[in-house]
Amino acid sequence: GIQVEQSPPDLILQEGANSTLRCNFSDSVNNLQWFHQNPWGQLINLFYIPSGTKQNGRLSATTVATERYSLLYISSSQTTDSGVYFCAVGGGGSQGNLIFGKGTKLSVKP
C-alpha cells in the first residue's frame, strides 16, 4: 500500500515565525488533504490539494504530484496554530479511503 511520511515529527516555534511541513508519499495519488487536529481532538480541513498550489490566509500548500510530495507553509504563526498537522492521501476508486501520515506536532510559544 501507499506509504506516507511526514517531517518533522515535532516542531516548536516562537509566535510570529514561519514554518514548512513536508509530506512524502510512495505512489501516485488522486486525493491529498492536509488537516489540523486541534488540542480538543477535532480534525479541521485545511486543504484538498492533489496537485498545484492553494492559499488560505496565513496558510498555503503545494503538491508536486510527479515528485510525490506536498508542502504546507504556515506564516506568522500564532498560538492557536498549535496542534498536530496530518497529511493524508488516497488512491481513489474502490480505494477511496485516506492513508494518514503520523503527523507533525506543532507547538507555538507566546
Partner 1 sequence: NAGVMQNPRHLVRRRGQEARLRCSPMKGHSHVYWYRQLPEEGLKFMVYLQKENIIDESGMPKERFSAEFPKEGPSILRIQQVVRGDSAAYFCASSPTSDGEQFFGPGTRLTVL
Q: Contact residues for partner 1 (CB under 8 A)?
A: 30-31, 33, 35, 41-43, 45, 48, 86, 88, 90, 92-103
Nearer to partner 1, 75 or 100 (CB): 100
Nearer to partner 1, 73 or 100 (CB): 100
**In whole angstroms, how close is the CB of 71 to partner 1 at the nearest point?**
19
**In whole angstroms, how close is the CB of 81 to partner 1 at the nearest point?**
19
Cα separation, 17 vs 91, in Å, equals: 34
Nearer to partner 1, 45 or 66 (CB): 45
Nearer to partner 1, 17 or 65 (CB): 65
**In whole angstroms, how close is the CB of 32 to partner 1 at the nearest point?**
10
Beta-carbon neighbour count of residue 24 at 10 Å? 15
Asked whether the beta carbons of 8 and 71 are under 8 A apart, the reply is: no
Element at 53 (helix H, strand E) = strand 52-56
**In whole angstroms, how close is the CB of 44 to partner 1 at the nearest point?**
8
Cα separation, 100 vs 102, in Å, equals: 7
Cell of 42: 477535532
CA distances 33 to 41, 100, 101, 109, Å, are 17, 9, 11, 26
